[in-house]
Amino acid sequence: MSKPKVGFYWCASCGGCEESVVDLAEAILDVAAAVDFVFFPVAMDFKRSDVEAMADGAMAACMINGAIRSSEQRAMAKLLRRKAQILIAYGACSHQGGIPGLANLFDRQSILQTVYRDTPSTVNPGDIRPEASTRIPHGEVELPVLDEQVKSLDQVVPVDYYIPGCAPPVQLLKDALAAILTGRLPPKGSVLAPDKALCEQCPRAPSKPDNLLIDQFKRPHLERIDPEKCLLAQGFLCLGPATRGGCGWACINANMPCTGCLGPVSRTRDYGGAAMSALASLVNSNDEAQIAAMLETIVDPAGTFYRYGLPASLLFARAGANADKGGHEP
Protein backbone atom coordinates (compact mmCIF):
# COMPACT_ATOMS: atom_id res chain seq x y z
CA MET A 1 0.00 0.00 0.00
CA SER A 2 1.40 3.35 -0.92
CA LYS A 3 1.96 5.89 1.79
CA PRO A 4 -0.18 9.04 1.89
CA LYS A 5 1.37 11.90 -0.04
CA VAL A 6 2.04 15.12 1.83
CA GLY A 7 3.19 18.60 0.80
CA PHE A 8 4.72 21.42 2.83
CA TYR A 9 4.98 24.82 1.23
CA TRP A 10 5.96 28.33 2.28
CA CYS A 11 4.65 31.71 1.23
CA ALA A 12 5.39 35.02 2.99
CA SER A 13 7.19 33.49 5.94
CA CYS A 14 10.45 33.58 7.82
CA GLY A 15 11.35 29.90 7.74
CA GLY A 16 10.47 29.42 11.39
CA CYS A 17 7.66 27.08 10.48
CA GLU A 18 10.11 24.83 8.66
CA GLU A 19 12.24 24.94 11.80
CA SER A 20 9.28 23.66 13.77
CA VAL A 21 9.25 20.58 11.53
CA VAL A 22 12.94 20.10 12.24
CA ASP A 23 12.05 20.45 15.93
CA LEU A 24 10.24 17.14 15.61
CA ALA A 25 13.80 15.78 16.06
CA GLU A 26 13.94 11.99 15.83
CA ALA A 27 10.17 11.84 15.50
CA ILE A 28 10.65 13.14 11.96
CA LEU A 29 11.85 9.66 11.05
CA ASP A 30 8.47 8.24 12.08
CA VAL A 31 6.80 10.87 9.94
CA ALA A 32 9.02 10.08 6.97
CA ALA A 33 8.20 6.42 7.45
CA ALA A 34 4.47 7.11 7.53
CA VAL A 35 4.12 9.57 4.64
CA ASP A 36 5.70 10.45 1.32
CA PHE A 37 6.77 14.09 1.01
CA VAL A 38 5.94 15.00 -2.56
CA PHE A 39 6.57 18.75 -2.29
CA PHE A 40 8.80 20.42 0.31
CA PRO A 41 10.89 23.17 -1.35
CA VAL A 42 12.95 23.94 1.73
CA ALA A 43 14.16 20.39 2.19
CA MET A 44 13.69 18.46 -1.04
CA ASP A 45 14.08 19.12 -4.70
CA PHE A 46 10.66 19.18 -6.25
CA LYS A 47 9.53 21.74 -8.80
CA ARG A 48 6.28 23.46 -9.31
CA SER A 49 5.88 21.48 -12.52
CA ASP A 50 5.92 18.29 -10.42
CA VAL A 51 2.91 19.58 -8.52
CA GLU A 52 1.17 20.70 -11.69
CA ALA A 53 1.64 17.20 -13.04
CA MET A 54 -0.18 15.62 -10.11
CA ALA A 55 -3.80 14.64 -10.39
CA ASP A 56 -6.21 16.87 -8.47
CA GLY A 57 -6.51 15.63 -4.87
CA ALA A 58 -3.36 13.56 -5.23
CA MET A 59 -1.94 14.82 -1.94
CA ALA A 60 -3.68 13.56 1.20
CA ALA A 61 -2.68 16.77 2.95
CA CYS A 62 -0.75 19.92 2.26
CA MET A 63 0.43 22.43 4.82
CA ILE A 64 1.07 26.00 3.76
CA ASN A 65 2.88 28.41 6.02
CA GLY A 66 3.36 32.12 5.51
CA ALA A 67 0.94 34.85 4.57
CA ILE A 68 -0.25 35.54 1.05
CA ARG A 69 1.00 38.82 -0.33
CA SER A 70 2.03 38.27 -3.96
CA SER A 71 0.51 37.04 -7.17
CA GLU A 72 2.81 34.01 -7.12
CA GLN A 73 1.80 33.02 -3.61
CA ARG A 74 -1.86 33.34 -4.52
CA ALA A 75 -1.33 31.13 -7.56
CA MET A 76 0.54 28.52 -5.50
CA ALA A 77 -2.17 28.54 -2.85
CA LYS A 78 -4.79 27.89 -5.52
CA LEU A 79 -2.71 25.17 -7.14
CA LEU A 80 -2.02 23.37 -3.87
CA ARG A 81 -5.66 23.69 -2.86
CA ARG A 82 -6.59 21.76 -6.02
CA LYS A 83 -3.99 19.05 -5.47
CA ALA A 84 -4.61 18.48 -1.74
CA GLN A 85 -7.54 16.70 -0.13
CA ILE A 86 -6.86 18.50 3.14
CA LEU A 87 -5.36 22.00 3.11
CA ILE A 88 -3.88 23.14 6.40
CA ALA A 89 -2.90 26.70 7.22
CA TYR A 90 0.30 26.18 9.15
CA GLY A 91 1.55 28.84 11.56
CA ALA A 92 0.42 32.30 12.54
CA CYS A 93 1.02 33.97 9.14
CA SER A 94 -1.05 31.47 7.23
CA HIS A 95 -3.65 31.30 10.02
CA GLN A 96 -4.15 35.02 10.76
CA GLY A 97 -1.77 36.96 8.54
CA GLY A 98 1.08 36.97 11.03
CA ILE A 99 3.80 39.55 11.41
CA PRO A 100 3.94 40.26 7.64
CA GLY A 101 0.28 41.25 8.03
CA LEU A 102 1.34 44.41 9.89
CA ALA A 103 2.23 45.69 6.41
CA ASN A 104 -1.50 46.31 6.05
CA LEU A 105 -0.98 49.43 8.18
CA PHE A 106 0.70 50.91 5.04
CA ASP A 107 -0.09 50.84 1.35
CA ARG A 108 2.02 49.12 -1.28
CA GLN A 109 3.35 52.37 -2.64
CA SER A 110 4.85 53.53 0.64
CA ILE A 111 6.27 50.07 1.40
CA LEU A 112 8.09 49.96 -1.95
CA GLN A 113 9.28 53.51 -1.48
CA THR A 114 10.70 52.69 1.95
CA VAL A 115 12.42 49.54 0.80
CA TYR A 116 13.72 50.74 -2.61
CA ARG A 117 14.46 54.36 -1.81
CA ASP A 118 14.31 55.55 1.83
CA THR A 119 16.17 53.07 4.00
CA PRO A 120 19.72 54.27 4.81
CA SER A 121 21.25 51.13 3.33
CA THR A 122 19.58 51.56 -0.04
CA VAL A 123 21.70 52.71 -2.97
CA ASN A 124 19.34 53.00 -5.91
CA PRO A 125 20.22 56.11 -7.93
CA GLY A 126 17.91 55.13 -10.80
CA ASP A 127 14.99 54.62 -8.35
CA ILE A 128 14.44 51.23 -9.90
CA ARG A 129 11.40 49.35 -8.63
CA PRO A 130 10.40 45.73 -9.21
CA GLU A 131 8.18 45.44 -12.25
CA ALA A 132 5.86 42.62 -13.22
CA SER A 133 7.64 42.37 -16.50
CA THR A 134 11.13 43.65 -17.47
CA ARG A 135 12.89 43.53 -20.79
CA ILE A 136 16.54 42.50 -20.59
CA PRO A 137 18.98 41.68 -23.40
CA HIS A 138 18.02 38.01 -23.20
CA GLY A 139 14.34 38.71 -23.54
CA GLU A 140 11.43 39.40 -21.15
CA VAL A 141 11.53 38.33 -17.48
CA GLU A 142 8.63 38.33 -15.03
CA LEU A 143 8.46 38.91 -11.31
CA PRO A 144 5.57 38.25 -8.96
CA VAL A 145 3.48 41.34 -8.18
CA LEU A 146 3.31 42.52 -4.57
CA ASP A 147 -0.35 42.66 -3.47
CA GLU A 148 -1.99 45.74 -2.05
CA GLN A 149 -2.78 43.80 1.11
CA VAL A 150 -1.36 40.87 3.03
CA LYS A 151 -3.89 38.08 3.56
CA SER A 152 -4.28 34.97 5.60
CA LEU A 153 -4.51 31.73 3.59
CA ASP A 154 -8.26 31.38 4.08
CA GLN A 155 -8.80 34.82 2.57
CA VAL A 156 -7.48 33.35 -0.70
CA VAL A 157 -8.59 29.71 -0.77
CA PRO A 158 -10.83 27.55 1.42
CA VAL A 159 -8.85 26.09 4.31
CA ASP A 160 -9.72 22.84 6.10
CA TYR A 161 -7.67 23.13 9.27
CA TYR A 162 -5.38 25.51 11.07
CA ILE A 163 -2.30 24.81 13.13
CA PRO A 164 -1.58 28.03 15.01
CA GLY A 165 1.55 29.49 16.49
CA CYS A 166 4.68 31.41 15.60
CA ALA A 167 6.08 28.88 15.02
CA PRO A 168 3.57 26.12 15.82
CA PRO A 169 4.47 24.20 18.96
CA VAL A 170 5.88 20.77 18.14
CA GLN A 171 3.20 18.99 20.13
CA LEU A 172 0.46 20.56 18.01
CA LEU A 173 2.21 19.34 14.85
CA LYS A 174 2.60 15.84 16.27
CA ASP A 175 -1.06 15.75 17.31
CA ALA A 176 -2.17 17.03 13.92
CA LEU A 177 -0.11 14.44 12.01
CA ALA A 178 -1.48 11.69 14.23
CA ALA A 179 -5.01 12.92 13.59
CA ILE A 180 -4.47 13.03 9.82
CA LEU A 181 -2.93 9.55 9.75
CA THR A 182 -5.71 8.03 11.85
CA GLY A 183 -8.42 10.05 10.14
CA ARG A 184 -9.67 11.26 13.51
CA LEU A 185 -10.09 14.87 12.51
CA PRO A 186 -12.49 17.40 14.05
CA PRO A 187 -15.07 19.28 11.93
CA LYS A 188 -13.58 21.21 9.02
CA GLY A 189 -12.59 24.77 9.83
CA SER A 190 -11.24 23.80 13.25
CA VAL A 191 -8.03 25.07 14.74
CA LEU A 192 -6.06 22.01 15.78
CA ALA A 193 -5.31 23.25 19.29
CA PRO A 194 -7.12 23.52 22.62
CA ASP A 195 -10.00 26.02 22.64
CA LYS A 196 -9.31 27.62 25.99
CA ALA A 197 -7.16 30.64 26.74
CA LEU A 198 -3.59 30.27 27.95
CA CYS A 199 -4.39 31.22 31.57
CA GLU A 200 -6.03 27.81 31.96
CA GLN A 201 -3.55 25.80 34.04
CA CYS A 202 -0.87 28.48 33.64
CA PRO A 203 1.91 27.65 36.11
CA ARG A 204 1.70 31.23 37.39
CA ALA A 205 -2.11 31.27 37.77
CA PRO A 206 -2.09 30.72 41.54
CA SER A 207 -0.28 34.05 42.00
CA LYS A 208 -2.93 36.00 40.06
CA PRO A 209 -5.21 37.94 42.41
CA ASP A 210 -8.99 37.63 41.98
CA ASN A 211 -9.37 41.39 41.88
CA LEU A 212 -6.51 42.33 39.61
CA LEU A 213 -6.35 45.98 38.63
CA ILE A 214 -3.28 47.42 36.94
CA ASP A 215 -1.67 50.68 38.07
CA GLN A 216 1.17 50.81 35.57
CA PHE A 217 2.00 49.02 32.32
CA LYS A 218 5.59 47.83 32.16
CA ARG A 219 7.83 46.68 29.31
CA PRO A 220 9.75 43.45 29.80
CA HIS A 221 13.14 44.73 28.65
CA LEU A 222 13.08 47.64 31.07
CA GLU A 223 12.17 45.86 34.30
CA ARG A 224 13.17 42.92 36.42
CA ILE A 225 10.57 40.21 36.03
CA ASP A 226 9.58 38.05 38.97
CA PRO A 227 9.88 34.49 37.56
CA GLU A 228 7.06 33.10 39.72
CA LYS A 229 4.35 35.74 39.75
CA CYS A 230 1.56 36.26 37.18
CA LEU A 231 3.02 38.61 34.57
CA LEU A 232 -0.16 40.68 34.24
CA ALA A 233 -0.21 41.12 38.00
CA GLN A 234 3.31 42.54 37.62
CA GLY A 235 2.01 45.01 35.02
CA PHE A 236 3.44 43.32 31.91
CA LEU A 237 1.14 43.09 28.91
CA CYS A 238 0.71 39.33 28.96
CA LEU A 239 -1.91 38.44 26.36
CA GLY A 240 -2.53 35.00 27.84
CA PRO A 241 -6.15 35.76 28.82
CA ALA A 242 -7.04 36.36 25.16
CA THR A 243 -4.78 33.81 23.50
CA ARG A 244 -5.47 30.18 22.67
CA GLY A 245 -3.50 27.77 24.82
CA GLY A 246 -1.53 24.84 23.47
CA CYS A 247 2.02 26.20 23.46
CA GLY A 248 2.93 24.66 26.79
CA TRP A 249 3.50 28.17 28.21
CA ALA A 250 6.78 28.37 26.31
CA CYS A 251 7.21 32.14 26.74
CA ILE A 252 5.82 32.16 30.27
CA ASN A 253 8.31 29.48 31.30
CA ALA A 254 11.07 31.57 29.70
CA ASN A 255 9.92 34.47 31.92
CA MET A 256 8.42 36.47 29.06
CA PRO A 257 4.82 37.60 28.66
CA CYS A 258 2.57 35.97 26.05
CA THR A 259 2.51 37.96 22.80
CA GLY A 260 -0.49 36.12 21.39
CA CYS A 261 0.97 34.03 18.56
CA LEU A 262 -1.63 31.24 18.79
CA GLY A 263 -4.35 33.79 18.11
CA PRO A 264 -7.86 33.88 19.51
CA VAL A 265 -10.10 31.10 20.76
CA SER A 266 -12.94 30.06 18.45
CA ARG A 267 -15.49 32.33 20.15
CA THR A 268 -13.57 35.57 19.52
CA ARG A 269 -14.13 37.42 16.27
CA ASP A 270 -11.40 39.99 16.67
CA TYR A 271 -8.36 39.04 18.70
CA GLY A 272 -6.92 42.52 19.20
CA GLY A 273 -10.29 43.98 20.12
CA ALA A 274 -10.86 41.28 22.72
CA ALA A 275 -7.38 41.65 24.19
CA MET A 276 -7.61 45.43 24.30
CA SER A 277 -11.04 45.60 25.91
CA ALA A 278 -9.95 43.09 28.55
CA LEU A 279 -6.74 44.93 29.36
CA ALA A 280 -8.29 48.38 29.26
CA SER A 281 -10.91 47.12 31.72
CA LEU A 282 -8.18 46.36 34.22
CA VAL A 283 -6.81 49.91 34.33
CA ASN A 284 -7.07 50.95 37.95
CA SER A 285 -8.56 54.41 37.58
CA ASN A 286 -11.86 56.13 36.98
CA ASP A 287 -10.29 59.38 35.90
CA GLU A 288 -10.35 59.89 32.14
CA ALA A 289 -7.10 61.84 31.94
CA GLN A 290 -5.30 59.32 34.13
CA ILE A 291 -6.62 56.41 32.06
CA ALA A 292 -5.52 58.11 28.85
CA ALA A 293 -2.06 58.73 30.32
CA MET A 294 -1.75 55.07 31.32
CA LEU A 295 -2.86 53.79 27.93
CA GLU A 296 -0.38 56.18 26.35
CA THR A 297 2.40 54.12 27.93
CA ILE A 298 1.46 51.13 25.74
CA VAL A 299 3.97 51.54 22.94
CA ASP A 300 2.70 50.52 19.49
CA PRO A 301 -0.78 49.22 20.30
CA ALA A 302 -1.37 47.93 16.76
CA GLY A 303 1.87 45.98 16.83
CA THR A 304 1.09 44.74 20.32
CA PHE A 305 -2.51 43.62 19.97
CA TYR A 306 -2.53 42.77 16.26
CA ARG A 307 1.03 41.48 16.05
CA TYR A 308 -0.01 38.18 14.53
CA GLY A 309 -3.46 38.84 13.15
CA LEU A 310 -4.07 42.21 11.51
CA PRO A 311 -5.28 40.75 8.16
CA ALA A 312 -7.74 38.43 9.95
CA SER A 313 -9.07 41.21 12.20
CA LEU A 314 -12.50 42.73 11.64
CA LEU A 315 -10.74 45.80 10.24
CA PHE A 316 -9.29 43.89 7.33
CA ALA A 317 -11.39 40.75 7.02
CA ARG A 318 -13.87 42.38 4.67
CA ALA A 319 -11.37 44.55 2.81
CA GLY A 320 -8.98 41.64 2.48
CA ALA A 321 -11.67 39.49 0.97
CA ASN A 322 -12.39 42.09 -1.70
CA ALA A 323 -8.99 43.54 -2.59
CA ASP A 324 -6.54 42.09 -5.09
CA LYS A 325 -9.03 40.10 -7.09
CA GLY A 326 -7.00 40.67 -10.22
CA GLY A 327 -3.25 40.79 -10.71
CA HIS A 328 -0.79 38.77 -12.67
CA GLU A 329 -0.60 35.13 -11.66
CA PRO A 330 2.33 33.44 -13.40
Partner 1 sequence: MIMPIHDPVRIGVYVCHCGMNIASRVDVEDVRAFAQSLPGVAAARTYKFMCSDPGQEMIQKDIKEHGLNRVVVASCSPLLHEHTFRRACAAAGMNPFYLQMANIREQVSWVTPDRAQATRKARALIHAAVRRVADHYPLAKERVNVHPAILVVGGGIAGIQAALLLANAGKKVYLVEREPSIGGHMAQLDKTFPTLDCSACILTPKMSQIRTHPNITLWTYAEIEEVAGFAGNFKVKVRRKPRYVKEELCVGCSECVSACVFKEGRVSDEFNQGLSKRKPIYMPFPQATPNVVVIDPRSCLKIMRGKCAMKCVEACLRAAIDFEQREEHAEIEVGAIILATGYRTFDARKIPEYGYGRFPNVYTMLEVERLVNAAGPTGGDITLRDGARPQTVGIIHCVGSRDRRHHPYCSNVCCMASLKMAHLVKERTGAEVFNFYIDMRATFKGYEEFYDQVLREGVQFIRGRVAEVTDWAIRSAEKGKLVIRVEDTLVGVVRRIPVDMVVLATAMEPQEDAAAVQRKFNISCSQDGFFLERHPKLGPVSTFSDGIFLAGVCQGPKDIPASVAQAGAAAAEALCLVDKGFVEIEPNTAFIDEAACSGCRTCIPLCPFQAITRDAVKGVAVINQALCKGCGTCVAACPSGAAGQNMFTDAQIYDEIEGVLADV
Q: Which residues bind partner 1 (CB under 8 A)?
A: 195-201, 205, 208-213, 240-242, 245, 264-269, 274-275, 277-278, 281-282
Nearer to partner 1 (CB atom), residue 107 or residue 195: 195
Pairwise CA distance, residues 84 & 63, whole Å: 9
Distance CA 93, CA 91 (A): 6
Its sign, for the CA torsion 144, 149, 150, 154, is negative
Minimum distance of partner 1 from residue 227's CB (angstroms):
20
Determine the Cα angle at 10 with ends 5 and 11, to 5°: 135
Give whichever of 80 and 310 is closer to partner 1, judged by the CB atom: 310
Q: Which is nearer to partner 1, 2 or 211 (CB)?
A: 211
Rounded CA-CA distance 322/18 in Å is: 30
- Whichever of 8 and 236 has its CB closer to partner 1, that residue is 236
Closest contact distance (angstroms) between CB of 323 and partner 1 is: 19
Q: Which is nearer to partner 1, 67 or 274 (CB)?
A: 274
CA distance 198 to 248: 9
Residue 303 C-beta: closest distance to partner 1, Å: 18
Give bridge partners of residue 84 from the DSSP assignment. 59
236: which DSSP letter?
A: B
As measured in angstroms, the least distance from the Cβ of 271 to partner 1 is 9
Angle at 60 between CA 55 and CA 61, to 5 degrees: 115
Q: Smallest distance from the beta carbon of 93 to partner 1, in angstroms?
A: 22
Bridge partners (DSSP) of residue 135 are: 140
